[in-house]
Each structure stands twice: as structure tokens, then as C-alpha cells.
Amino acid sequence: MKRKIDPIKSEVIARFLLATAEEMAATLMRTAFSPNIKERADCSTAIFDVAGEVIALAQRVPIHLGSMVGAVAEILKRFPMGDILPGDMFVANDPYNGGGTHLPDINVIAPVFAGKKIVAFVANIAHHADVGGMVPGSEAAVCKSIYQEGLRIPPVRVMREGKVNRDVVDIILLNSRTPDERVGDLNAQFAANTVGARSVLQLFDRYGLKETQEAIAGYLDFTEKRFRAAINRLPRGRYVAEDFLDGNLEGETCAIKLALTIGKGRMDFDFTGSGKQLESARNIPYRALLATVYTVAKAMLDPEVPANAGYYRTLHIKAPPGCVVGPVPPAAIGCRSISASVLGDVIANALSQAMPDKALAGSGPHHLFVLSGTDPRTGVYFVDYETVAGGMGARANRDGVDGVRVHASGSSNLPSEALEHAYPFRVERYALWDESSGPGQYRGGAGVIRDYRVLADDIVVSLSSERQHVASPGMAGGGSGACGLFVLNPDTPQERVLPSAAADIPLPRGSVLRICTPAGAGYGDSKKRTISAVEKDVVEGRISPDYSSRIYLEGS
């Protein structure tokens, strides 16, 4: 006879585990060395049950979920339970061998022991600013194979009974252009898992092994039941959507196609018909596909549903091997996060057809750039990995959000003060991009403009982006958002528009690099936008009086 679960105790246990995941994240960010982790929070933490199912996930960077889903199972394939001891930790980063979704994201996973028995696993992932490869930052759309993207690490033991395996760590450090940062960030990851394992063990000590495991299993079942109920509120049927990534050559495109079937308590996402995997790093590995589907479905159907494996059971995903959302080795995958933002628009478009009252227009993904060189203040080589947010598309009942990471992407823009302290640059402009929002009854979110003045002599930049050629699509008559742009020396006789993807472009001392990120699209006919909303946009400086008359008021 199945034991009845106390719902209050189950909720208490679930909330404790979520708080533990957040405690791990705080530990990781406060002890990390690199600005990318300690300032931009480009990291995630999670807790798994003994079978490797996600039971608590800190709300940080959703695509990192793809880096951790299945990671425990991969470890157990290589290391029998009897060969794993208290104090062990494992490290991995390779998407084709159970380690993540791109190489800079390094997973560190640790078992939690109650006595001599493994009762759970804790894990964290941190985006390391450089893990080798042909381009500083180990992430560039121009990479043509994963061998160019950096060091590949299958699941291996990095700590044995509390002692760090120096052989593994030394290999990681030797392959990085910035080894001092890497060792500091790895130690922060070890500390985060130590904190997490200690707290999880306290929970098992308090409630006992059997009762805690039953409560966790019950909470996953509750999550599944709740999400099936959300699916059952949608009309059953088949919904088709399509959007485009940049293709193999500048100006070419590659389709992402989705046929969504909504059935009784389940949704099937079929990406058959999507374009072939690309000869660039824009491909989306399978676990990043999973993370994006899980994130967008949750956000649109039931944002408050617990972020655990319970609701994953209701979502079924098919992607043919060798397509852009199911690449096979040696396809490059470094820029999967930018591509996954376009993928998120495809998923949102299909869901919007089934739930028009909560529809979401197309969004503008972040732009990626990696600045590197020697800091003249210290004589030390640096790698500055940064992303700048775009704009969210409008909803069926409200404007889009300005300057925000969209769908499964996350992390913050690097604060100007932290940037200027750490690297030889000066931020001369950091603002919302006026008149970039897609017009509509509800306008899209604005993109961002950020200008960097170069204060050193040997600086190079690598650039990666989406939606510089294919704008975010409007919905229900709404207009597209502005496309993104990279510009060198804007508003001068030397102004030059840079490619949407490039590596190692020299930036002379005194030059200015401008990042313009794509904006969100609008929803509904722009002539239906209220006069008060248009006037507010003018007063806030989002649009000029001439723009408001031309786009919103003429003929209305």
C-alpha cells in the first residue's frame, strides 16, 4: 500500500531544497574570481535525487538546466555506485558526452551520503571565461567544429574523498588563457557543492531517509499533475511555427520548424523539417533544446509550477539527428544560447496559437562579444566575456520588456563600474535604443546600446549574434523589432559596420565599439495603441513626435 504523503511536510522539504540551491548559488558567486560569475551571475545550481532527476533548481540561467539534465546518469554510467565515495566530485563540460551544452560551462557534481548510502546529488555549473580553443573566450559563431571551441571534458573524477585531483585540474588550467581565474572559479564551485551537500544531509538527518525520499517523490508527482492540468486547459490540436537562424554564409538563413501537438495531459514537440546542422557554432545541442522547451512551456502555461523534473514528464521532444536543433559531432555549438532565443520564439509562437490571450511576439536575443588583450595597468592578459541583453516581445495585453535576456538565456549585463575596474575600457554610453521597439497596439521591448572606448594597444574582439538579418516577428499585425548591429567608431568618418559573426578583429587604442541589440516585436495593429500610451512613449524619449505621428497616429 502506497504511503500517503503529508502535503505540508512535502512543501516544507521542497522549499528547503530550493533554499539550499539558492545558498549554493550565493556561495558560488561570492567566492568566484571572474567578473563573469561574481558580477554577471553566469552560473546555476541544482539538487538531484539519487536517480538523477532534478528536484530543485535555483532561478538563474535556464539554459544551464540542459547542461545538468542527464549529467548524473552519465556519471553513473562511468562510475558504479560502489566506486563513489563521500567527498568525491566529478567535472564535465562536453555536450556530446553528458557534460553540458557548450564547453565554457563546466559542471561540478557531488554525491550526498547518508551513512554509506548515496541519497542525492548536488551540482553547479559555472561559465568559465576561457577554456581554450581557437578564439579567446572559447565561444564564437565562426567556429566550424567543436574541436576549435576549447578543451572537452567527459565526466571524470576531479576530487577523491575530499582531495582535489591535481592531474585533472592541471589539464584544465593548461588549456585556458587565464588559468588564475580558472583555479579560483573551480574552487568556488567545489565550495558551493560542499555547502549544498551539508544542507541536504541535514534535511535527511531531520526527517529520515525513507520519509524524505517519499516526500520528494510525492512533490515530483504533484508537479506533474499540476502541469498536466495546465495542458488540459488548452485546446487540443496541432500547431505549426517556424523562424530562422543565420545560415552558413552572411545573409543566408537556416529554418527551425516545429509541429506542436497538444493532447490529453501532454505536449509533443516535433522539430522534423528543421535545417541541417550548420557549419558554425550556432547549432543547438539536444540538451539545450530540452532546456528551452522546458523553460518556455513553463513560462507560458504555469510560471509558478515548481522547477523540477515532475513537469518534464508531460513534454515529449523529437529532433532528427543532424539537424540544427539536434547536431551530431563534430558540430560546433558554442553560441547555442543566442540560437536558443530564436528557438524560444518558435516554441512561443506555437503555444501562442493555442493560448491567444497569453500570446507572445518575437523577441530580440542578446549579443555576445569577447574582448581580450593585455591590460596596460597590470601587464596581465585578460579575457572579457560579455553579453548585452535585447528586448522581449509584446504580449497580447501588455508591452514587451526592455533590455532583458529572453527565454532560456539569463545572467546580467556586466555593470559599467565592475567592467572599468577589471578591464581597460570605458563605457561611454549605456542606454535603451530609442525607436527600436516593434510597433503595435502593444510595443515590443527596446534593445540596448552600449559603447566601449578602448584604452589599450593590443585589443581584439570576437562577435556572435542572431537577428541581425532576420528581425523578431510581430504578431496579430504588430511590427518587427529592430535588428541588431555591431559598429566600430560610430558617428565618425571612420564608422564601419562589423559582421554579425567574426573573430579577432583588432580594436586600436581610442576606438569605440558599439553594441546595438535587437528589440522585441509588437503585438496588434499599431493604430489601436491608445493615445495616452503613445504620449507616454514620447515623454519618456522612446520615440520622437515625428515617429509617433508616422507610425501610430496617421490614418488612425
The pLDDT of residue 1 is 42
The pLDDT of residue 556 is 53
For the record, the C-alpha cell of 470 comes out as 532576420
**Chain-centre distance of CA 480, in angstroms?**
23
Kindly list the distances between the CA atom of residue 119 and the CA atoms of 68, 132, 197, 201, 210, in Å, as whole numbers in the listed order: 18, 36, 10, 9, 10
What tens digit of pLDDT does each residue of 140-185 get?
Answer: 999 999 999 999 999 999 999 999 999 999 999 999 999 999 999 9
Average pLDDT over residues 246-258: 93
What tens digit of pLDDT does each residue of 370-429 get?
Answer: 999 999 999 999 999 999 999 999 999 999 999 999 998 888 889 999 999 999 999 999
Q: Partners of 367 in the beta sheet?
A: 388
3-state SS record for 242-266: EEEEECCCCCCEEEEEEEEEEECCE
Average pLDDT across the chain, whole number: 95
Radius of gyration of the chain (CA): 23
Look at the block and give the residue holding cell 538546466.
65
What tens digit of pLDDT does each residue of 41-55 get?
Answer: 999 999 999 999 999
Task: Judge whether 498 and 545 are in contact, CB under 8 Å.
Answer: no
Q: What does the longest C-alpha to C-alpha distance in the chain come to?
A: 80
The pLDDT of residue 67 is 63
DSSP-assigned states of every residue in 5-27? P-HHHHHHHHHHHHHHHHHHHHH
Can you give the residue ranges of every domain in the chain?
A: 7-223, 359-556
